[in-house]
């Protein structure tokens, strides 16, 4: 399988050329330094790609069924900034309809671009990080907007951080009927293309989406894809690259690019190099089967949450634990969770072998369940805090830091969220209410930034 970026870097290193160029380590030091280069002759350029990078991106686009795929060395954050800028520029609209359980990277991008968000509230239960996005709610909000507020896109997160998958196909049909683009933050779902059933957002009707390759595929941290499905979003060759270059470093990591190149080779081997053919004996199907067996074994003793095959999310209170308490019990048994809070413990199974997933059965069964009462918070009646100013105005105003207990009535200057999960209860420009302050305290946030 061709790996053009890797092949170039390895050949360049083997030639023992005097490196009178960046980076300053000159290829000396740790072994991986030797393959860390810059945009020298033949190495192509990420934002003007016409050689080895473009070749690698085109092979990856074919794997995902995309019109074009752009590599990002700045994670999905860079992809989110890029796709919102593209959509706003193409449509001329400064309005976005978005599901509220979004990453703070989305809110920050809207602030940078001066976009106004019309929020769709998911159906929440015990967390604002996750919730059920309902297609009817999206349609109702779109129906309520006057023609002059037609949004540049509908923006949803699927899967969300806890593994809840949105009805992407149904929302895509609504968007198509209204001639509105659908953008999806699929940061946690790159692997969904390669499971038993292909439920990747591009397959289900999204016009554009981002995938964090490093989250669920074998790639270095910071490696991500921006997939363009709808050719209308690339009015001329290089449009999307030009937009991406506005937000990105002019020195993208060639180590990350090589990891994306190698990841593409791995995926082509998994699929037999065909976008419409999944190797049923491949890793992701094996992982999915092992994960399903694990969840089936645990479901009578532990409350399994979410729909995503590659994520094991446990709602811990019914078993007498907080999520952090369960996370600590797992840590004592040699397992480090992806995330834990007052309700949930989240384990990412992608990348683990079937045997490692199998071993989790015995580990969970070794954890005693006190069945003591742990009262989870109830967010089913959560209401949006009122907005006093736009996101950009709040972000660009003079800030100060105060105790969260003193914040009632003040305006949030920045999204307040630990990362992970990066989902905030309050967005820039909104007013701190008693409810919001209580929620932030529940998440152990003690200080906030206000206008």
Strands 339-340 and 303-305: unpaired
Tell me the C-alpha distance between 187 and 340, whole Å: 19
Q: Which residue has the tokens 């074919």?
A: 62
Domain membership flag for residue 371: no
| 207 & 228 share domain | yes
202, two tokens = 């591009």
Number of domains the chain is built from:
3
User: What CATH number is associated with residue 9?
Assistant: 3.40.640.10
Domain membership flag for residue 181: yes
Contacts of 301 (CB under 8 A, 6+ apart): 319, 364, 365, 369
User: What CATH number is associated with residue 404?
Assistant: 3.90.105.10
Task: Compute the Cα dihedral for 308, 427, 414, 443 and give only its sign.
Answer: negative
Domain membership flag for residue 231: yes
- Choose one of 233, 249, 271: the last residue of a domain: 271
373 preceded by a cis bond (ω within 30 of 0): no
- Choose one of 241, 271, 301: the last residue of a domain: 271
User: What CATH number is associated with residue 317?
Assistant: 3.90.1150.10
| 417 & 324 share domain | no
| 298 & 410 share domain | no
The boundaries of the domain holding residue 438 are 391-450
| Per-position pLDDT tens, the chain of length 451 | 789 999 999 999 999 999 999 999 999 999 999 999 999 999 999 999 999 999 999 999 999 999 999 999 999 999 999 999 999 999 999 999 999 999 999 999 999 999 999 999 999 999 999 999 999 999 999 999 999 999 999 999 999 999 999 999 999 999 999 999 999 999 999 999 999 999 999 999 999 999 999 999 999 999 999 999 999 999 999 999 999 999 999 999 999 999 999 999 999 998 875 555 445 568 999 999 999 999 999 999 999 999 999 999 999 999 999 999 999 999 999 999 999 998 999 999 999 999 999 999 999 999 998 767 778 889 999 999 999 999 999 999 999 999 999 999 999 998 887 777 889 899 999 999 999 999 898 888 899 999 9
| 222 & 328 share domain | no
pTM comes to 0.95
| 296 & 224 share domain | no
| 166 & 232 share domain | yes
Domain membership flag for residue 201: yes
Domain membership flag for residue 299: yes
Residue 263 backbone phi and psi in degrees, to 5: -60, -40
Question: What are the residues facing 209 on neighbouring strands?
Answer: 184, 227
Domain membership flag for residue 157: yes
| 262 & 294 share domain | no
């Amino acid at each position: 399988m061709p790996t053009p970026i890797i092949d170039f870097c390895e050949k360049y290193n083997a030639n023992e050329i005097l490196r009178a160029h960046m980076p300053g380590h000159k290829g000396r030091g740790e072994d991986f330094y030797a393959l860390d280069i810059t945009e020298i002759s033949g190495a192509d350029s990420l934002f003007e790609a016409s050689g080895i990078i473009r070749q690698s991106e085109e092979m990856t686009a074919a794997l995902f069924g995309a019109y074009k795929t752009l590599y990002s060395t700045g994670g999905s954050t860079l992809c989110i900034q890029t796709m919102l800028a593209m959509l706003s520029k193409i449509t001329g609209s400064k309005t976005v309809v978005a599901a509220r359980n979004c990453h703070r990277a989305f809110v920050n991008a809207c602030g940078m671009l001066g976009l106004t968000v019309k929020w769709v509230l998911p159906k929440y239960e015990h967390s604002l990080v996750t919730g059920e996005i309902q297609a009817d709610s999206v349609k109702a909000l779109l129906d309520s907007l006057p023609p002059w507020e037609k949004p540049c896109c509908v923006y949803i997160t699927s899967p969300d951080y806890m593994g809840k998958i949105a009805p992407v196909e149904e929302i895509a049909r609504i968007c198509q009927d209204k001639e509105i683009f659908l953008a999806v933050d699929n940061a946690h779902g790159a692997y969904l293309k390669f499971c038993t059933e292909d439920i990747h957002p591009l397959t289900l009707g999204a016009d554009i989406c981002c995938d964090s390759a490093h989250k669920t595929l074998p790639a270095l941290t910071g490696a991500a894809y921006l997939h363009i499905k709808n050719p209308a979003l690339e009015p001329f060759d290089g449009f999307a690259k030009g937009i991406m270059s506005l937000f990105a470093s002019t020195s993208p990591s060639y180590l990350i690019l090589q990891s994306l190149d190698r990841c593409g080779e791995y995926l082509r081997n998994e699929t037999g190099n065909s976008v419409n053919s999944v190797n049923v004996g491949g890793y992701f199907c094996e992982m999915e089967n092992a994960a399903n067996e694990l969840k089936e074994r645990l479901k009578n003793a532990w409350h399994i949450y979410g729909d995503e095959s590659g994520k094991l999310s446990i709602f811990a209170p019914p078993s007498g634990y907080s999520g952090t308490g369960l996370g600590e019990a797992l840590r004592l048994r040699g397992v480090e969770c992806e995330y834990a809070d007052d309700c949930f413990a989240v384990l990412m199974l992608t990348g683990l072998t079937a045997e490692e997933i199998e071993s989790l059965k015995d580990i969970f069964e070794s954890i005693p369940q006190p069945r003591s009462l742990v009262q989870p918070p109830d967010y089913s009646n959560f209401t949006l805090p009122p907005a006093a100013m736009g996101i950009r105005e709040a972000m660009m105003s003079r800030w100060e830091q105060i105790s969260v207990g003193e914040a009632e009535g003040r305006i949030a200057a920045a999204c307040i969220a630990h990362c992970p999960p990066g989902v905030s209860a309050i967005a820039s420009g909104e007013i701190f209410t008693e409810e919001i302050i209580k929620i932030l305290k529940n998440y152990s946030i003690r200080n906030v930034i206000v206008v």
